[in-house]
Amino acid sequence: LINIDGKVGACGFSSRILPNFYPIRLVRVKEDDKELLRDCQGLCIPCQPGEPGMLVGRISDCDPLRRFDGYTDQDSTSQKIAHNVFQLGDSAYVSGDVLVMDEYGYMYFRDRSGDTFRWRGENVSTTEVEGILSGLLGHTDVAVYGVSVPGVEGKAGMAAVAHTGGCLDLDAFLMGVQKSLPSYAWPVFLRLMPSVDTTGTFKIQKTRLQKEAYKPQDSNQRIYYLNSHAGCYQAVTEDLFKDIMESKVSL
């Protein structure tokens, strides 16, 4: 996807006259989790002009320009491949980028999947929160992402923190968070772990973290949730995790 004619603000172009000849397309997704929406035939639904959608590209093993060999991590690879997109039986690469196309076919960047989530009716920027939390914690690695909570609309913020030292002063950390961020951006859950997984280019991998969410892990990792009534972070035990899953805990 390239802006070859210098259209101001556009990041590329896709013909609306011959859309089937182009290997890329914008398709509809759910607003909260960016899951691809399907029609009655099980195919992805193309976006109309002005409608935000996920950029996908047709995969063809016979064409080196359209082939996708995947990542070293199988989970990351499967997250990037969708089937039955343009037609039944095909495969497409899911870019993770949400764009908008105008009536002429020019595309404009809107959002990066995973870079934002909605909580308390507000959009939360993971990049912004990561930067602030990292500064509060002495510039350690921090991954921020949204996690689903049963019975609650949107996604609660969770921060995975690389912490190998002694006890973290959670009260002081919370005070810093409350001074630096609006309430809807406060991490509802914290995960302290020896290190945060990164790619070969040092990009933090969040897929596994999001999947494991706030379920208690092994002894090397500690998970906390923000008890708004007590005004402090509280350790998530198996019993507390069960209460959260049964919507017995107010967030």
Tell me if 100 is assigned to some domain: yes
Q: Are 233 and 138 contained in the same domain?
A: yes
Provide the pLDDT for residue 72: 64
In tens digits, the chain (251 residues) has pLDDT values of: 777 788 888 888 887 776 667 788 899 988 766 788 999 999 999 999 888 889 998 888 777 767 777 666 677 677 788 899 988 999 999 888 888 889 888 888 876 666 788 899 888 988 889 999 999 998 888 999 999 999 898 899 999 999 877 788 999 999 999 999 999 999 999 999 988 876 655 567 777 888 889 998 776 789 999 998 999 999 999 999 999 999 888 87
Residue 172, classified by CB atoms within 10 Å of its CB into exposed (0-12), middle (13-18) or buried (19+), is exposed
Distance separating alpha carbons of residues 177 and 14, to the nearest angstrom:
43
The residue among 185, 103, 174, 82 whose CA lies nearest residue 136 is 174
Q: Could you say which of 65, 94, 112 is where a domain stops?
A: 112
> In terms of pTM, does the model score above 0.75?
no
Output the pLDDT for position 147.
92
Residue 96: predicted pLDDT:
81
C-alpha distance across the termini of the chain, in Å: 42
Q: Which of 88, 112, 136 is the last residue of a domain?
A: 112
Report the CATH number at residue 207: 3.30.300.30
Same domain, yes or no, for 98 and 130?
no
DSSP 198: B
Within a domain: 86: yes
Q: How many domains does the chain have?
A: 2
Residue 164 placed within a domain: yes
Angstrom CA distances, 153 to 120, 146, 181, 189, stand at 8, 12, 21, 16
99 in Cβ contact with 55 (< 8 Å): yes
**Do 42 and 66 sit in the same domain of this protein?**
yes
Is position 1 within any domain?
no
Q: Is residue 250 part of a domain?
A: no
> Does 72 share its domain with 134?
no
Whether residue 148 lies inside any domain: the answer is yes
The pLDDT value given to residue 208: 81
In 3D, which of 224, 223, 228 has the Cα closest to residue 251? 228
Final residue of a structural domain among 112, 139, 158: 112
Q: Does residue 130 share a domain with residue 107? A: no
Domain that holds residue 103: 12-112
Alpha-carbon distances, residue 207 vs 52, 88, 154, 198, 214 (angstroms):
23, 27, 18, 11, 13
CATH number of the domain to which 49 belongs: 2.30.38.10
> Are both 129 and 85 inside the same structural domain?
no
Q: Is residue 5 part of a domain?
A: no
So what's the pLDDT on residue 232? Answer: 94
* pLDDT reported for residue 136: 93
Q: What per-residue confidence (pLDDT) applies to 231?
A: 92
**87 plus 129 within the same structural domain:** no
User: Do 204 and 134 have their domain in common?
Assistant: yes
Residue 3 is assigned to a structural domain of this protein: no
Phi/psi at 165 (5° precision): -85, -155
d(CA 231, CA 225): 11
